[in-house]
Structure 1
């Protein structure tokens, strides 16, 4: 089938499709698009008819792109990047336009030396017409977003290495083992017996597999898990579990004596947070500039 030249209507339909895909479904795209789910459904159906293929699955099982949908998504992302490149040329080389989709792990806002907001502030002082979207998600979700072109880049802790991604260190965080005030170990002396620690119930980071755990964590008794740092904090504060947290995040509770570190001389270690980007992705001028700003702020 021969597809006619791309029209303004096609670009509008593709924009709706991209927004739905990035949002993860029709309902979540409503606010950004400011239209009803019924209207979004009509737009997606019209695009599917136009292209002669099914782009997404929706129903009780949830929203997901089909193989054709993923190909259209990648091609559309490249198309929009080229359009933004052209707009940059048309408006002058110093003009940054388009959008930036940035992902970041859920605890970074508490870090003392690195703040994403500082990078956005510096970018904001440049001449630009760029719309920002900041996504907060656990590492595995951030990887998916970058690989699926739902985010231009993401900042987090990534224990596995994927060949499709590039990695650049941005800051370091100290990790320590914590227990809550309600836990039996909280009031014990600093030199808590290691066997007692290993016998306790521990909460594991759900995005770190067993083979990715540091050596000193592999003997721990994991009976709970969370896929976010906040989830681990709730488990620690319950008094039922021990878990590792970044020190910069735990300080809000240690300062109030609601949790404490356990044997840091044995269990503490440094975790490197990185900026990931998809190797094969085309770079818009706005993305290149923002990435360069991030790298000037690196505090590894």
Structure 2
């Protein structure tokens, strides 16, 4: 492809960076028309900025017209480089803000919905610390299922995750933080409720429906569950509790989470060979996307709180 003019020389100006930001928005929107709402500009103004950027870089970045919007090979390279550049600019701004104690950042943090019941105190203390030290930080916190925590971090919608998934993707960096103890429970109207004090075998569970979690469990437990009758699935602990409370399903629960319902006589843990297990819970983030300053600070504060508490 022939260049549009003289090859790019010199340093990027503020105008160049602004144009690259606009170019990234155009690509993410899928074209100039779709980018109008994102940029708050008319199509002709967007086209003018894009044309000036192409002239500045001396290359054709995209094909646009009746046939649709498509990046050229050079455009793909510039888009990739622009994403890295803008990310580094954001990290530099965060660093300067942190150095002056005026960090302004948005942190997206996902964690398993069951952690509130056993690990809420150290997590709340870490949140309080970052809020007190950096009041300009905006925290987007969501509790969900382990699979969704992992998926959100991998796709980039979460900067940081705390989850009990036992097998992590090679694309994730994981730091073990604490262990979560699990057991099998049944509701008060379940046929096995009266036998909760007995030592049961896996065969005693065979004729009863079991609610499975949509998560990857450790290999030994997966073998245990494979012999049971899976008649329901629930991705979150709260959803699983609804099913167990119905007394129509057996389900795996964190012991600390189940404590309140056990005390009320609503559920009981069954003593079954091989049913007890431990989930190793880890802080995770995507290897290819280094933590920003804000997320990195929160990461360190969470680790400090759990290690200080002996968790």
**Which TM-score bucket, shorter chain as reference?**
0.7 to 0.9
2:275 maps to 1:256? no
Matches within 5 A, 1:203-218: 203-208=211-216, 213-218=221-226
Matches within 5 A, 1:43-192: 43=38, 76=83, 79-80=86-87, 82-86=89-93, 88-89=95-96, 92-112=99-119, 114-188=121-195, 190-191=197-198
2:298 maps to 1:287? no
CA contact (8 A) 1:88 1:97 kept: no
Instruction: State the 1:275 CA deviation.
Output: 0.5
CA contact (8 A) 1:179 1:241 kept: yes
Segments of structure 1 that go 5 or more residues without pairing to the other structure are 21-38, 55-67
Instruction: State the 1:257 CA deviation.
Output: 0.6
Instruction: State the 1:143 CA deviation.
Output: 1.5
| Alignment-derived partner of residue 67 in structure 2 | none
| SS of match in other structure, 2:233 | strand
| SS of match in other structure, 2:156 | coil
Would the alpha carbon gap of residues 120 and 252 (structure 1) be closer, same or farther in structure 2, given more than 3 Å must change? same
Instruction: State the 1:235 CA deviation.
Output: 1.0
Please give the TM-score of this superposition, normalised by the length of structure 1: 0.73
Quick one: distance in 2 between partners of 1:53 and 1:115? 52
Instruction: State the 1:81 CA deviation.
Output: 5.3
Segments of structure 2 that go 5 or more residues without pairing to the other structure are 5-14, 51-60, 65-74
| Alignment-derived partner of residue 201 in structure 1 | 209
| Alignment-derived partner of residue 5 in structure 1 | 16
Which digits, 9 at most, give the CA deviation of each residue in 1:130-185, with x for residues without a partner?
11101222122212211122111100111222111111112211100000112111
| Alignment-derived partner of residue 23 in structure 1 | none
**Which is further off, 208-217 or 234-243?**
208-217
| SS of match in other structure, 1:163 | coil
Would the alpha carbon gap of residues 119 and 143 (structure 1) be closer, same or farther in structure 2, given more than 3 Å must change? same
2:234 maps to 1:226? yes
Instruction: State the 1:43 CA deviation.
Output: 2.2
| Alignment-derived partner of residue 42 in structure 1 | 37
Quick one: distance in 1 between partners of 2:198 and 2:116? 32
